[in-house]
A and B are shown apart, each in its own frame.
Chain A
Amino acid sequence: MSNVENKQKIGTLVGGSLSSGLEIRLDSEYSVENLYVGDGITIEGREKRYFGIISDILLQSSDSTLRSFPPNSSDFFVTSILSGTSAFTILKISLQLAVSLDANLDEFDQLGLDSTSFGPATTVPPHFSPVYRATSKDYTEIFGSEDENHGWIGTPKGREEEVKINLDLEQLIKRSNGVFGKTGTGKTFLTRVLLSEIINKDLGVNLIFDMHRDYSDSVNDESGNKINSLKQLYPSKVEVMSLGKSLTKGQVRPDAEIMISYSDLEVQDIEILSETLNLTSAGLLAAHALDRSYGEKWLGIFLNMEPSEDKENKNSLSAAAERTGQLYTVLHTLWRRLEILKKFEFLQQNPAEESIRRIFASLERGKHVILDFGSHQSNETAYILVTSLITRRIYERWAEQDNQLIIAIEEAHKFLNSEVASQTIFGTIAREMRKWKVTLLVVDQRPSGIDAEVLSQLGTKFIHQLEDNRDIDSILAGSSRDLRGVVSTLAPKQQALVIGHALPMPVVIDVRSNDTLTNFINPETTTTEIINIERDNNDLFGEKNE
């Protein structure tokens, strides 16, 4: 097959198993320092070609005495000869895909036909099969080319060649997905790339709860480079709505201000806040009792009550305690802890406009909506409350829609932890998958805080560097154990392991960035096209400060 050209043999298959990984002995001529965990390799069997990734690199020796009596490290002649012969490198390979080797593949290539059909590797290549480092052509065969459904998200880790990893976005948005990684690893950056690609290809409609104003307005990265917001990139496709009064600073003016009626809040919205506001189970029971007794406007009425034990006063907590059969002390504690909601000016008894209907109308028209938390940015209580409320309302009405809705939420463990996941709308969406054409894009730094069942339902996971073993265990539950080593060797920034539904095999990527663009320009591209590409790139990622 033509693929044999430019291939560099790096080793020979010497053992292992499909479940625990194959073992490749590295050729002595090939430097181990040119390889890394997560790198792609191909193995030529007799009947099939296999694709896998390096999950671990081991230094071994043919004779145990070499460990006890190693040669003098200053004797370069001896050490350089022993290195790669008696003392050798073993690569552990997590086998992923297999494709039949057909003698006539060249003819298929010449005719431009798709001669390959990848499938999961269900067997292993025979002993002593030659192993090659995956070439750019291999990656293109596996991940496809950029088209109306495939979006470019990055380059294979450490590769400088013209290799693009293209994600099947149509498959991606059919299921809920997650972007994980500790703080500062580039979760928001990758999320922006994903959302941007979905918007660019018109594959679905996004509702983004922008807690930290990362997507609604331009931001500066750590190097001081300005990064344009999604609104600036796609002004006609994206609407920014501000929660309450919008901030006067910033370059993007919101298209609408969101006000929420107390009557929109239900007890389950309060339940999600139980951890944040330190609500007790007795308090939550009292909230249910208030709901039953006062109806849908219970919260507004409750917060306007006077914290008094005067039973004669009908607007006192004492009177409410008698009416609902709750203890005064329980109601008083609940009242005090919910009092913080009165500070949220976006919560009103009778707002002029039904804001949730406004959001729905925009989404229905195919507009992507970014909910900017404005002056409430980084306010956890406001974020949890509003995100939960709006998502529930939108979800209830979306059943009739044809368009796929993707809801992007940050701090996902607040909504999807084991205690509340079964009760919140987010748990429902994550479990029901594509049934209602609503999926989640969860962004979180603590995947171990997310309910295991919800994690298992995520279609595609983008995993940045994680340090806590519990986080790594929970995110890789159900995946090959080999991938653990891959996660632990991710770079601190802009590098992610991508596993799941939207791509044929796991891959470690350097997330697409300004710097990598010039490497991907086709030699046949004209100067005008290059200028256009660079302009688009600068629009997306901001201009570089030289």
Chain B
Amino acid sequence: MKNQNPIAEIIESSTKSIIVQCYELYQAPKLGTLIKTQDDPSIIGIVYNVFTEPLDPSRRPIARGPFQNEPEKLYEENPHLSLLFRTQAQIFILGHVDQMNSYSYELPLLPAKIHTGICLLNQEEVASFTKTRAFLELLIEGLDIITDEIFSISIRRISGYHSDPEKFLYDTGKDVANNFPHDQQKLISLLRKLGRGPINE
């Protein structure tokens, strides 16, 4: 689990969610990306929010004026700016690797340690973790936190890692529908978002 290079480090941790700070400013995993902690047991989650803020919350940035059309140039001319900000990502936990070294789609009994590194799941790992629809259980439970939009982006992104993305979306849609017996309008809205098709990158 520690062979891959970490892209961020845990700075806040609970058994339901994690906040990581990215090692590179603005180099965060994209929304809906599956990540894992370089911990033992390894915790698996999905990126549901990315934000950048000043290191010192009491010193808010100020606008540099309308003449600044090229932000990259600004950072080159003012290298200290990169040190004043940090990019963070919020991770919603979907499961962990259990003692038998197989995926468990339950919350970890203890949170990950602060300063633990996180890295992206590779294609095989994504396909393997989402092989059964059990991964949906915690994702659907967390809909209030992660929002419908992030939910559908996550599923569409995951579908791109499967051999038949359209079928994956359809089958997942069926499972999602079974979980919304009494809120059909929310379900229809969710399915419309899923119907936009796989996200391939």
A-side interface residues toward B, CB under 8 Å? 28, 61-63, 65-66, 69, 71, 75, 77-78, 80-82, 84-86
Contacts and interface: CB of A to CB of B under 8 A. Distances in A.
B179 to A, nearest CB: 9
A74 to B, nearest CB: 11
A71 B194 CA distance: 14
Contact of B188 (A28, A80, A82): A82
Nearest 4 CB-CB pairings of A with B: A85-B177, A77-B195, A81-B173, A62-B181
Contacts of B192: 75, 78
B178 interface: yes
B185 A69 contact: yes
11 contacts: A62-B184, A63-B183, A65-B184, A65-B185, A71-B191, A77-B191, A77-B194, A77-B195, A78-B192, A82-B188, A86-B184
A71 B183 contact: no
Nearest to B178: A85
B195 A86 contact: no
Interface string B165-185: 000011001101110111111
A77 B173 contact: yes
Given A71-B188, A75-B192, A75-B195, A81 B170 contact: yes
A80 B181 CA distance: 16
Contact of B184 (A28, A66, A84): A66
B174 A84 contact: yes
B11 interface: no
B187 interface: yes
Contact of B177 (A69, A75, A81): A81
Nearest to A78: B191
Given A75-B192, A77-B194, A78-B192, A86 B174 contact: no
B180 to A, nearest CB: 7
Nearest to A71: B188
Question: Which of B174, B182, B192 gathers the greatest number of chain A CB atoms within 10 Å?
Answer: B174
Contacts of B187: 82, 86
B174 A28 contact: yes
Nearest to A28: B174
Nearest to B196: A77
Nearest to A76: B195
A75 B185 CA distance: 14
Contacts of B174: 28, 81, 84-85
Nearest to B175: A85
B191 A81 contact: yes
Given A84-B174, A85-B178, A86-B177, A78 B188 contact: yes
B136 to A, nearest CB: 14
Name the residue among B169, B173, B188 with the largest chain A CB count within 10 angstroms: B188
Contacts of A65: 184-185
A125 B120 CA distance: 50
A423 B8 CA distance: 100
B188 to A, nearest CB: 5
Given A61-B184, A69-B188, A77-B170, 18 more contacts: A28-B174, A62-B181, A62-B182, A62-B184, A63-B182, A63-B183, A63-B184, A66-B184, A71-B191, A80-B170, A81-B173, A81-B176, A81-B177, A82-B187, A85-B174, A85-B177, A86-B181, A86-B187
Contacts of A78: 188, 191-192, 195
B114 to A, nearest CB: 41
Contacts of A84: 174
B191 to A, nearest CB: 4
A138 to B, nearest CB: 29
A78 B192 CA distance: 6
A62 B195 CA distance: 22
Contacts of A80: 170
B168 to A, nearest CB: 13
Interface string B49-87: 000000000000000000000000000000000000000
B148 to A, nearest CB: 14
Contacts of A86: 177, 180-181, 184, 187
A369 to B, nearest CB: 65
B172 to A, nearest CB: 9
Nearest to A29: B174
A62 B187 CA distance: 12
Interface string B130-157: 0000000000000000000000000000
Contacts of A61: 184
Nearest to B183: A63
B31 to A, nearest CB: 22
A341 B181 CA distance: 74
A75 B187 CA distance: 14
A63 B188 CA distance: 12
B170 A82 contact: no
B22 to A, nearest CB: 35
A35 B170 CA distance: 24
A104 B184 CA distance: 47
Interface in B17-68: none
A69 B192 CA distance: 14
A28 B176 CA distance: 13
B181 A63 contact: yes
Contacts of B191: 71, 77-78, 81-82
B56 to A, nearest CB: 48
Contacts of B178: 85
Nearest to B177: A85
A424 B43 CA distance: 89
A242 to B, nearest CB: 69
Contacts of B169: 77
A69 B187 CA distance: 12
Contacts of A66: 184
Nearest to B187: A86
A69 B170 CA distance: 22
A71 B188 CA distance: 7
Contact of A82 (B177, B183, B194): B177
- Among A61, A65, A84, A86, the one with the most B-chain Cβ atoms within 10 Å of its Cβ is A86
A383 B131 CA distance: 75
A65 B187 CA distance: 11
A82 B186 CA distance: 12
A63 to B, nearest CB: 4
A65 B183 CA distance: 8
Counting chain A CB atoms within 10 Å of each CB, the highest count among B170, B185, B187 belongs to B187
A80 B174 CA distance: 9
Contacts of A69: 184-185, 188
Contacts of B180: 86
A84 B178 CA distance: 9
A76 to B, nearest CB: 8
A84 B192 CA distance: 17
A510 to B, nearest CB: 35
A82 B180 CA distance: 10
